[in-house]
Amino acid sequence: MIQTKSTIELLRKIKIEPSWAFADKTRKDTAYATHGYHRYPAKFIPQIVSRLAEKYTKQGDLIVDPFGGCGTTLVESKVMGRPSIAVDINPVAVLITKAKITAIDPFKIEKEFATFQKRLGTYNEKIRVKAPEHERIDYWFKPEEKRKLAFIFAEISKIKDRDVQDFFFCGFSNILKNCSIWLQKSNKPTRDFEKKPSEPIKTFLKQIKMMLRGNARLFELLSEKGYLKVPSKVICTDARTIPAQDSSVSLIVTSPPYVTSYEYADLHQLTALWLEYTKDLSDFRKRFIGTSYHSKKDLVLNSALAEKIRNELLKKDKKTAEEVSAYFSEMNQVFVEMKRMLKKGGKTCIVIGNTSLKGVEILNAEVFVEQLQNLGFKIADIIKREIPSKNLPSVRDETTGRFAGINDKNKVSVYPTEYILIMEK
Ligand SMILES: C[S@@+](CC[C@H](N)C(=O)[O-])C[C@H]1O[C@@H](n2cnc3c(N)ncnc32)[C@H](O)[C@@H]1O
């Protein structure tokens, strides 16, 4: 208990470090090279990763991200000549990451694109195309867009070179929302029957042209430095089973999922449906940490503060108490895995904010510090940073969960500041 109190006090005393907000960075800076290929909820900005990697590693050191998301850590590691491994339970994240870390020779991909563009030009309404047979496809797409998307999809499927195919599938994935009746800007799967979906072929070509510029820039950066062959690996698996050897990793940089915050499985269902990553959405959901579908048995919280938060929540709502407990327990297992693979003296940098549920403060940062200390980690540094609103919507509607305008009456603020916990093994 004494430790709990001191952890809270310790973090409360930490002052915001303005330079870590990177408030001067424009979208062009944060989306440079391949970073802008695909939207992804709660991605962090590349500048956080490169600054940490600069400080804590040298060329050749292995960097890992156990919650790799759309691959920010991997792209930055490669640009800096550090080998890297990321895992993510979401196959859509893995597809995006693969495309982002694979710099394809610009001449080759431009040529492929020219051929592809010609093939798309042959589209007419009489061409026979086959869309995946899933009732959810018809739920989200109107017949005309569905036909055109199926045509694009079939053409991508014919591409033999796997890197080129992933590049095009990544682009395809990013246009699906705009070409569907998914309510614009909503992070909840909601239909908008008034919406006029974007025309798929035009939208796809525009998306690919943007990606071609990003790929050319990455290729140039890596060629200049001789880093084209720096190993970079992404695997679709759980953060508790990372394919890295014991004591082999110099640095971990990651931003974990939040408890019941984003349902990644719901958010990426359009891609998952088209690419047939899953036939069963409910099974897909269960694999994610932070979702409400997990076993609530045999939980090890490994933190007095986490126990306290659970008890507070139990007074308000049993289900939320169980979900938060499961989350902390699963995060503790991830920390065990981090310890296994880190070298002695290696650092883990965890980007995390606090939040509140049912009126109870969920002190993620404080709980993580306690859990990591209980596992034998030492605090190396703790940074508090502001999240500039252009990078992350700062208000959300409490009832619908949608991102809200500044004047909406139901708004609640979400993560205006966050911590970077730097813990040493
Ligand atoms: C906050 S996001 C990471 C974003 C990332 N930093 C980026 O820049 O794209 C958290 C990620 O954790 C992943 N995730 C959730 N549960 C997981 C699990 N059990 N194992 C591995 N990854 C998981 C989600 O799919 C999501 O991509």
Q: Pocket of ligand 1, candidates 101, 283, 288: which has the most ligand atoms within 8 Å of its Cβ, to mutate?
A: 288
C-beta 415 within 6 A of ligand 1: no
Q: pLDDT tens digits for 391-412?
A: 444 454 444 444 444 444 444 5
Segments of the chain scoring below 50 in pLDDT: 1-2, 390-394, 396-411, 413, 415
C-beta 87 within 6 A of ligand 1: yes
This prediction's pTM: 0.92
Q: What is the pLDDT of residue 259?
A: 84
What's the CA-to-centroid distance between 108 and ligand 1, angstroms?
32
Q: What is the pLDDT of residue 293?
A: 63
Q: What is the pLDDT of residue 267?
A: 82
C-beta 215 within 6 A of ligand 1: no
What number does the ligand 1 atom closest to the CA of 90 have?
25
Q: What is the pLDDT of residue 419?
A: 97
What's the CA-to-centroid distance between 88 and ligand 1, angstroms?
6
Q: Pocket of ligand 1, candidates 67, 293, 414: which has the most ligand atoms within 8 Å of its Cβ, to mutate?
A: 67
Q: What is the pLDDT of residue 4?
A: 64
3-state SS of the chain? CHHHHHHHHHHHHCCECHHHHCCCCCHHHHCCCCCCCCCCCCCCCHHHHHHHHHHHCCCCCCEEECCCCCCHHHHHHHHCCCCEEEECCCHHHHHHHHHHHCCCCHHHHHHHHHHHHHHHCCCCCCCCCCCCCCHHHHHHCCHHHHHHHHHHHHHHHCCCCHHHHHHHHHHHHHHCCCCCCECCCCCCCCECCCCCCCCHHHHHHHHHHHHHHHHHHHHHHHHHHCCCCCCEEEECCCCCCCCCCCCCEEEEEECCCCCCCCCHHHHCHHHHHHCCCCCCHHHHHHCCCCCCCCCCCCCCCCCHHHHHHHHHHHHHCHHHHHHHHHHHHHHHHHHHHHHHHEEEEEEEEEEECCEEECCEEECHHHHHHHHHHHCCCEEEEEEEEECCCCCCCCEEECCCCCECCCCCCCEEECCCEEEEEEEEC
C-beta 88 within 6 A of ligand 1: yes
What's the CA-to-centroid distance between 31 and ligand 1, angstroms?
19
Q: What is the pLDDT of residue 334?
A: 97
C-beta 67 within 6 A of ligand 1: yes
C-beta 271 within 6 A of ligand 1: no
What's the CA-to-centroid distance between 69 and ligand 1, angstroms?
5
Q: What is the pLDDT of residue 295?
A: 65
Q: pLDDT tens digits for 343-359?
A: 999 999 999 999 999 99
Q: What is the pLDDT of residue 392?
A: 47
C-beta 62 within 6 A of ligand 1: no
C-beta 289 within 6 A of ligand 1: yes
